[in-house]
Amino acid sequence: MSIATTEMKYTDWAEKFQPKEINAGGENPLMVEDEFQAEELMLDAGEQYIWTLKYADEGEGEVLVNGFWSVGCIGFYITEQPFGLDDDFVITK
C-alpha cells in the first residue's frame, strides 16, 4: 500500500487538527522552536500529535508536515487531534 500525500491550507489544517497553545508569551504561542522542548512535548502528547514547520524542499518558503523532523526545521506544533500513521500531509499558507 502506498501512502498518498494530502495537501491543505493552514486554515483547513487548524480547523481539522486544532493546534494547542504550547508557547504562552512567545512570538507564536502555537509553536516552539527548541527541538528538545518539542521532543518532550511529543513524548507527553504522542508521536501522532506533533507537526514540524520546515523549509520547503524546493527552497520556496515554508511548509508544515506531520511528524518530528529535525532537518530544515523551523519549529514544532502539537495538535489536539492526531494524524494517522499512514498519513502524509503538507500544509501551506
| pTM for this model (two decimals) | 0.92
pLDDT at 25 over 80: yes
Residue 56 has a pLDDT of 87
Q: Distance between CA atoms of 70 and 65, rounded to whole angstroms?
A: 12
pLDDT in tens, 30-64: 999 999 999 999 999 999 999 999 998 776 789 99
78, pLDDT greater than 70: yes
> pLDDT tens digits, residue range 2-22?
678 999 999 999 999 999 999
- With 0-12 / 13-18 / 19 or more C-beta atoms within 10 angstroms meaning exposed / middle / buried, residue 28 is middle
